[in-house]
Structure formats: C-alpha cells, structure tokens
Structure 1
C-alpha cells in the first residue's frame, strides 16, 4: 500500500505543474504584500504630478469691454467668455476720456475704470473684491499725441502704482493664489518718491521700478517676501522731460525718454537712439513710441512706433541682431495724418514679438518669430467711430489675445479664419462693479459674426481700410535738455 500510494503521488506530480519550493512561495507573497502596502501609502500621501493639477481658469485672460464699461474673463480653451463683470463706466460718465483697462498676473487681476479706479477680481470665482483704489489724476502735456506711459503695473505677485504729478510710488504684495484685496494700497503701501512726470513698471520677480522724466531719476524697489526692500536710485543724466516710459527686461530697467527719443538701460553706458521716422521731430514734439511689456531677461528690448515694432540692443555685448527684425505696420506717411493712430505695448512671448495698431476704424497686427521681418495683417471693424484708444496685446501664461480698447472687441490669435470671440452685453453704466448674469440684458453690443479678418501677408502692401476723420494735434515746441549719458547709481533709504 505504501508503494502504491507512493506511485500515486508520483503520478499526480508527473501529470500536473511542478510545485514551487516553499521558500519561493513565501518570498513572492511577502513581496506582493509589501508592494500593496507601499502603493497604498503613496496613494494617500502623494499630491500627484503638477500637470494634472489643472483648473479651468489657469489659461484664462481678462479683457476690457472698452466704452461699454465691462470686463470679461476669456476661457482660452473654449475661445469665449465665461464671466462678465460690469462697472468700468461711472454713472453718467464718459468712458472715452480715459481708457478702461485690466491688468493680470497669473491668478491676480485688477480692472482700471474710466475714472481711474482700481478694482481687484477673484479670478477663480469671477467676483469683484471689496475695496477700490483711486489713481491720482495724471497731468500729461496738452497738444501732444503720445502713448501714455503706465501709472499702474502688476507682475511677480506685486501691484504698483505711481502718482504722475508727484512721483509718489505705492506697491502691495499679492497672494499668488489670487483673491488679495487692494483697498489699503494708498494707506500702507507708499515706498518712495521719484519725481514729476512719472511712470511705473514691475518686473517678473515683483520688483518695482519707476522713472521721473522731470528729474531723470529711476528708483528700484526690490520685492522681499511679503514686503519690499530699500529703494535704490539711478540718475540718468537728463532733467526737465515731459514724459518717459519704463519697462523691465529680466531684473534690469529700461527707460525711453520720449522727449529725445533715446533708450536708457541699466548697465548701458550710452543711450540708444530709437529707430524710425518718429525721431524726425525729436526735441519739438514727444515721440509716439512705447516699450514692450515687462518680460524675461534679454540683450534687446522691444519697442513700437506707428511705423513698426522691433528691437533695440540694451547690453554692451549684445550678439542678437536688432536691425530688420519685427513687424512693419504698413501705414504710409499720408495716412498718418488722415487717421487716428494708436499703438500697443508689444509683447515678447518666447521667440515671438506681438504688436498691434489701432488704425482709424481698423486694427493692424502681426507676430514676428525669430530673426524675421513681417508685414502686419488687418482686421476690419464695422461702422465708423473716432478712435481714442489703441489695441492691447493681452498676455498670460503663454496665451495671447488682442483687445480693442475703444470697442471692446476681442480677437483670439490661436484661431484661423474669423478671430473675433467677444459677446458683450448692453452697457449699463451702473458705476458699481458687479457680476453680469447671462439673460439679465439680452441685447448684445457686439457679436463675433460681424467681423472679418486677414492674416498677415508676405508683402507690406496689405489692403488699407477707409479713411477715418482727420486728426489735428497742435504741436508745442519744447526746450531741449542736455543729457549726460553715463548713469550713476546710489542707494536711498
């Protein structure tokens, strides 16, 4: 029996799968259990890869409704508005006098009303935050047709403002998650005084930079944690100017003296002359020109005039060409006198330069990527109106839109064919910022179906739009001031 049983066991073993040794089975079970436990721990503790932490508003860009008195949040993924706020026009006021605008830095957004109030938004909910700030009234020279330098700027989780007349500078650090109230800016945020005829910018790290055209002084105020460090001053060597623009390229300031048409830059021994026909009247009238929006470090700075948008070298060892590179507007000399010409503040987005022109009742725009020169394309605007403001190039997290500050029209440059995407409700002029509820005002002041677009062509002879009303600006003669081109830097408390 024993032998037979032994044979039976052997026969069973011979016809089935070989059995694994006991030690291997124990080890396999232990490894499986260990992997299950480790996987469970990681699943509980892990936050996941950042790429999966996507929110609907991450790619949003805020825009202005122009004279209609609205602001809106554009969902760039859906190519349309997903939130509209009213209140950019004061009750009984005229939004055409001062352009309504909007600033954005990631999840922070601040609207600028036509009567120069600042209202902050919670970009996640689309709600207006409590507390407003009044921008002091600027005193720009009369009879001069210029692109007015910025009085408010926001980047790197910093909101900054300057009093154009006195040069007093205020700033406030913002929560990168958004939702920071700004009502206490004037009470707690004064940092320095730079001088009259001032403008301001903020670099991508949140440092504040302001310039006075009257004193020829630049003040830099570094962002430090939740506050700011000691202001540092630089004398540019000129005084008595009526207007100057300022921007930041990396952590370096760049100043455009609109009186002489010269570009000064931090660390640059000699100022660079602004290229183009704008300089024919330098010293007699202020230059119609502006610098780029604050951007990353570079050995060149972008500029824009009625003729073109291009680059100027701002470092001693610049290797990149700044010659025939950029966007040519295609506006000839005769049309400059017959049209209302307005320029944008160009944007450097990666290797591309974006610029736009408000050309009477049309919009010209173009993007030059790399070392190329391209002609501007044309977007026709239906109807006839007297242009008071230009076109803003809106830029947030790599997304770019065009926003006509007169009409509120919005163009999504990622589309082909018809670029227009705005659907504004009828203006209410309530004077109090608030959320517009869809269906409350069924009549719309604009519709995407009314626009036609043309992409930039490969020759500069693009089709011109009809001539708008003539603009006649009386030019005033200004005194020339002497300039010492070498900058000196000192620290001020």
Structure 2
C-alpha cells in the first residue's frame, strides 16, 4: 500500500509550467556566464605580483649603439632600445653599458650620460615636457700609460643610484621608486652627498647604502640609505695611497682593493691581505684585478685576475696567517695574460658574480671569450665560447644577473650568451647596421631576426644634463 500510494502521489504531481522551466534555465545559464566572466577577468588573491618583464636581463649592444632586454625563457632579445651611441675606435673609446637592480634599469651612453629606462614599458623615462631625462657624469682622467681594470664610477643597488666624480671625489646619489620607472633628473641639480677625495670609485650594497673610496687619500665614505633619502656619512681612513682602487660590498661591509699593490682591505679586517696572483710587476704597473659584484654578507670576498678567479678570506681571523688563501677558483687557462713576465695588452676581465653558492667569472682577449663557474672548493677549468671574426678588444665582458638568471655580455660586440644552457648559448638577435637616431622596437621573427615597427623619440635628443 505504501509503495503504491507513493507512486500514485508522484503520478498525480502537477508539472511546472513551461515558462517557469525556461526562466529557471535562463537564470542558471546567466549565473554560470557571470561567474565565468568574473573568473576570467579577476586577478584573484595574488601570492606574488610578477610582471611579464620581471624575468628580463638588460644588456648592452656594445658598438651597435643599442640596449636590449633578454628573455632567457625564449632565448632571445624581446626588446631593443636605441640611443646608447658609440664613439669611434680610439684608445679612450667608451662603450655603452647598462645597470640593473630588480625593476630598475639605467643605461649608460657612450658619452657618459645616464638614462633611466622603465622596465615595464621599455621606454626611457621622460620629464613633464616629454623630454627624455639624461644626467651627465663627469669625465674621468685615469692614470695614463697604465693597463688596468678600471673601477666603477656609477653604481645601482637597493633602489639607490649613485655616481662619483673620479677626479674630485664628489658623491651624488638618489633613491628610486621600488616599482621602477623613477625620474633621475634631480641628479643633475642636487649637490654632493659628500666628498671622498681624488681617484675615486664607488659601489652600492644590496640595501642601497653608498660606499666610495679615494685611492689618493685612502679614505672610505659610507652613506646609508634612509627611507627616501640618506643618513649621515661615515668616514674611515685607510693607510694606503695609490693611483687607483676598487671597492665592493659584502653585506653591509665594504671591501677595498688597492690596485697599486694588490692588497685587500675590509671593514673589520685587522691587516691587509695580498690578492692571490695579482700580477704585480715591481710596482711599475697597476694590478689587473677586480672584486666581486656587491653581494650578501660573507667571511670571504670573490675576486678576479688575469690568471684566475676565486675567494679569499676577509673575516677577523684573516690577520696575515692565511694570506692569499684561495677557497675556490676558476683557472683562466687560455694562455692569455702573463707570457714571459708581460701581460696581454688587450686582455679584459669581468667583475665576478655570485649566484647562490656559485661563482661566475669571464675573460675576453681579442675575439676570444672564456668563462667559468665553480660551486665547490675545487678549481674548475674555463670554457671558450664560440665567436666569429677578429677584433681588437677595447672593452671587457660583463656577467649580468637578475633574479637568479645570468648571461654573459660582450661589451665590444654586444654578443650575449646564456650561461644556464649547456648548448646553443649564444643569443644573437641584435639589429644590424649603424645606430640610428630613434628607438627601434621589434618583434623577433621565427628566425630570430627583428621586424621593426614605428619608432619614437630617441634618448639622444634629450637636453637635460648636469
């Protein structure tokens, strides 16, 4: 009876009107469509805000007169910016360069002008009138007749851009917007933060603190970053005087290399340490050597010479007992550099870079480029990169890094090599020909060659200098 009753009741249930069934279906379809559109357009709750250009590494095109952004994932340049310029082939030729710190990118032109590049748009930063902002750095007067690795006169790090007048030691700096695209025009107008002394060089640590040294006075000046500005300078006098000195930062501590003697001095180090294989020639020539790119705090500092690259201790225990100790290194075994007591005139070295526990360094001699990597306390041989043609090298090579990615950039030719790949390391998509007066944007073709589009105003037309 119960089953029969239920069946009878179900049979007698009145069906819903047709219009109600159609309306219900329409409401459900509408809700699904709205949810789909919302899901498609919504950003959601971001775990990490990553811009599409965050993975790019900015490089110099050398004598091509371009700057470019490397997309390491696509193994190509995805943006080229014109305006870097070039200046002949003389002994004092200056090739364009580029600095990068996260979303900050600063181009250095062949005539020593600084140009801020918005890494999100690939456009040079302009002032309110639409003119590209450029800041003119002073021309340095280096020791003549000397073949040595010239230290840095401009530095970028921790959202700080700073440069020093090599001849006077005047230090100029500004804080940048962490989001990138900052104006740098005020550098042409502000006064110096401090003066360190003649024959100066500069660096900026990962926190944005400025550190500069004068080879003539033996003075080190530290200017801490403080919010949107800087704190009071701190000065330290070192017992040396020479023609040139290099400086870098290991954490918040400065490290100085006297290029006259090959001695390394560091904050907290009691006695100077001799740089291994410094290639000193009876005090007549300056040391061909350089210290690492600024990096995290450590009891060692990386260095590079013509012969090798490696680490040496700079902690408080390094009081002379382990002078010149090499904890790990890369041998530059091409035969370049020292032959019969004389060094190769056109051998150039890179400022070594640390990427996690690994050390990267590179050397250039003529058309030959060699590089090496070590992640242990063992010596590793270098690798020669495939190059084409003969050239007289005027500039060196640079290890570029951004967010854990590294490329090798030839500052003469603009060639770029991806150091993370075992094969096909060369990235060769620079436009050919002489530099033009306008920015050139392009989309790489399947063959890796550029297809140009409408140009815009060039940084070379900017008038703001200081």
Give, in angstroms, the shift of residue 234 of structure 1: 0.2
| Residues 1:189 and 1:182: Cα distance change in structure 2 (over 3 Å) | farther
- 2: distance between equivalents of 1:149 and 1:228? 23
Are 2:174 and 1:172 aligned? yes
Structure 2, unaligned runs of 5 or more: 7-38, 126-131, 451-466
Which residue in the other structure is 2:123 paired with? 127
CA contact (8 A) 1:89 1:95 kept: no
- 2: distance between equivalents of 1:334 and 1:445? 41
Describe the SS at the equivalent of 2:442.
coil
Give, in angstroms, the shift of residue 380 of structure 1: 3.0
- 1: distance between equivalents of 2:191 and 2:374? 39
Which residue in the other structure is 2:114 paired with? 118
Describe the SS at the equivalent of 1:185.
helix
Describe the SS at the equivalent of 2:311.
strand
Which residue in the other structure is 1:48 paired with? 45
CA contact (8 A) 1:194 1:217 kept: yes
Give, in angstroms, the shift of residue 99 of structure 1: 2.3
Which residue in the other structure is 1:380 paired with? 386
- 1: distance between equivalents of 2:177 and 2:191? 15
Which residue in the other structure is 1:314 paired with? 314
CA contact (8 A) 2:174 2:229 kept: yes
Describe the SS at the equivalent of 1:205.
coil
Describe the SS at the equivalent of 2:426.
coil
The 5 A counterparts of 1:238-253 are 238-239=240-241, 241-253=242-254
- Count the aligned residue pairs: 404
Deviations 1:38-59 (A, max 9, x none): xxxxx999962434x3322111
CA contact (8 A) 1:197 1:212 kept: yes
Are 2:441 and 1:437 aligned? yes
- 2: distance between equivalents of 1:370 and 1:322? 15
Are 2:356 and 1:350 aligned? yes
Give, in angstroms, the shift of residue 258 of structure 1: 0.3
- 2: distance between equivalents of 1:116 and 1:308? 30
CA contact (8 A) 1:196 1:214 kept: yes
CA contact (8 A) 2:248 2:294 kept: yes
Deviations 1:206-251 (A, max 9, x none): 0000000000000000000000000000001123x11000000000
Deviations 1:236-271 (A, max 9, x none): 1123x1100000000000000001110000011101
Which residue in the other structure is 1:289 paired with? 289
Which residue in the other structure is 2:328 paired with? 325
CA contact (8 A) 1:411 1:419 kept: yes
Deviations 1:362-398 (A, max 9, x none): 1000110122210111013211110111110001111
Which residue in the other structure is 2:76 paired with? 80
Which residue in the other structure is 1:475 paired with? none
- 1: distance between equivalents of 2:302 and 2:87? 38
Give, in angstroms, the shift of residue 322 of structure 1: 4.6
Are 2:232 and 1:230 aligned? yes
- 1: distance between equivalents of 2:327 and 2:160? 35
Which residue in the other structure is 2:186 paired with? 184
Which residue in the other structure is 2:461 paired with? none
Which residue in the other structure is 2:259 paired with? 258
Deviates more, 1:411-420 or 1:316-325: 316-325
CA contact (8 A) 1:411 1:421 kept: yes
Which residue in the other structure is 2:421 paired with? 415
CA contact (8 A) 2:169 2:199 kept: yes
CA contact (8 A) 1:301 1:311 kept: yes
| Residues 1:282 and 1:300: Cα distance change in structure 2 (over 3 Å) | farther
- 1: distance between equivalents of 2:80 and 2:213? 35
1:397 counterpart (388, 392, 403): 403
Q: If the length of structure 1 is used for normalisation, what is the TM-score?
A: 0.76
- 2: distance between equivalents of 1:138 and 1:200? 13
Give, in angstroms, the shift of residue 71 of structure 1: 0.4
Deviations 1:261-305 (A, max 9, x none): 1000001110111111513x2522110000000011110000000
Deviations 1:426-483 (A, max 9, x none): 24434x5x5213389xxx999xxxxxxxxxxxxxxxxxxxxxxxxxxxxxxxxxxxxx
